[in-house]
Amino acid sequence: MPMRWLSCATIFLLVSVITMPRFASSYSPLPPPNQNQNIIPGSKLNPADIYDPNTMSGPLGRQADDFFLQTFRKALATSLLQSESDFQPGYDGMIDMIRKIHSASPTQSSCVQKSRATLQSLFPDWPPSPKSTTGLLYWFKILFSTPFPSFSSKLNAYITCACSQWLMGPSSLLPLPSSSSSGSGSNNLVEIKRCRYLEATKCASICVNTCKLPTQQFFNEDMGVKMRIVPDYESYGCRFEFGVEPTEEDERLAKDVKCFAECPSGGEERRRLSCMN
């Protein structure tokens, strides 16, 4: 079984590298992350950027998207110690699982850790690695991220763009200034125009604690790949900046946004976790 997982992972990486040019796009200037703490969430939504699951798919096709969704659902159900059948099918059921992880977490750190552990569980714990590490992630860090940081940043940007559009919506690869990233900065930025995940959860606290913070920790600490996530709550857009380390200012700006008017908990989750103060 470990060899099977490793073979699948190797084939996946090779396919991703071979198909890299398909996902590249031309450069267009990007606005700086919104730094206004008084922004109104959703005030700059663009109807043209919405993701339609009935007519759209990621670059790898509908079958691949369905596989990724089903795999992620299973990982979430395992994290909750429940069965997938306890939740409605498809993407909506996945969002229900995310909300339950968030609402069942007594603290911000526990929510972030559970979400990060879910990401770790998507990868095989093989070859053997030190205790408290995940095999494939540990060896990627040793063999790729540490000696080849620029290549690793670009590879993960390509894979993220290719494999996560079912989760976040249409995205494209753009360059980052070389002064702020590992290597040349070309194709180190994954830009999501209108994040499907954020729009479905309707909660800034869920965005920060189940996506931004755990995903940053996963890439920076587990894979050894520098990256930060910069959400834009006005447009529901988001930037995955590979080769760039997160800063405390990033965290403050993400946490200081107002509660969404449509937030299912009416802001209660923010107050309970005390993560937005």
Instruction: Output the CA–CA distances (angstroms, integers) from residue 233 to 35, 137, 170, 204, 217, in the order listed.
Output: 11, 31, 17, 8, 21
Question: What's the whole-number average pLDDT of the chain?
Answer: 84
Query: In this structure, are residues 243 and 175 in contact, taking their beta carbons and an 8 Å threshold?
Result: no
Q: The tokens 């972030």 sit on which residue?
A: 112
Partners of 242 in the beta sheet? 227
pLDDT tens sequence across 75-127: 999 999 999 999 999 999 999 999 999 999 999 899 999 999 999 999 999 99
Query: In this structure, are residues 94 and 68 in contact, taking their beta carbons and an 8 Å threshold?
Result: no
Burial of 151 (0-12, 13-18, 19+ CB in 10 A): middle
Percent of all residues in the chain with a pLDDT value above 90, rounded to a whole number: 64
pLDDT tens sequence across 131-159: 999 999 999 999 999 999 999 999 999 99
DSSP code, position 87:
S
- Name the band, by pLDDT with cuts 50, 70 and 90, for residue 187: confident
Q: Higher-confidence residue: 204 or 277?
A: 204
Residue 146 in tokens:
């540490």
Residue 79 in tokens:
């994290």
pLDDT tens sequence across 39-86: 667 778 888 888 999 999 999 999 999 999 999 999 999 999 999 999
DSSP 126-161: -S---TTS-HHHHHHIIIIITT-HHHHHHHHHHHHH
Residue 59 in tokens:
């670059």
The residue extents of the domains of the chain are 62-273
**Given a cut of 90, is residue 211 above it in pLDDT?**
yes
DSSP code, position 107:
S
Residue 140 in tokens:
């990627």
**Given a cut of 50, is residue 25 above it in pLDDT?**
no
Percent of all residues in the chain with a pLDDT value above 70, rounded to a whole number: 77
DSSP 189-234: EEEESS-HHHHHH--HHHHIIIIIHHHHHIIIIIS---EEEEEETT
**Given a cut of 80, is residue 254 above it in pLDDT?**
no
**Given a cut of 70, is residue 192 above it in pLDDT?**
yes
Partners of 192 in the beta sheet? 171, 238
Fold of the domain spanning 62-273: Muramoyl-pentapeptide Carboxypeptidase; domain 2 (3.30.1380)
Report the sign of the C-alpha dihedral through residues 89, 218, 132, 125, in that order: positive
pTM: 0.82
Give the pLDDT score at 157.
Answer: 97
Radius of gyration of the chain (CA): 18
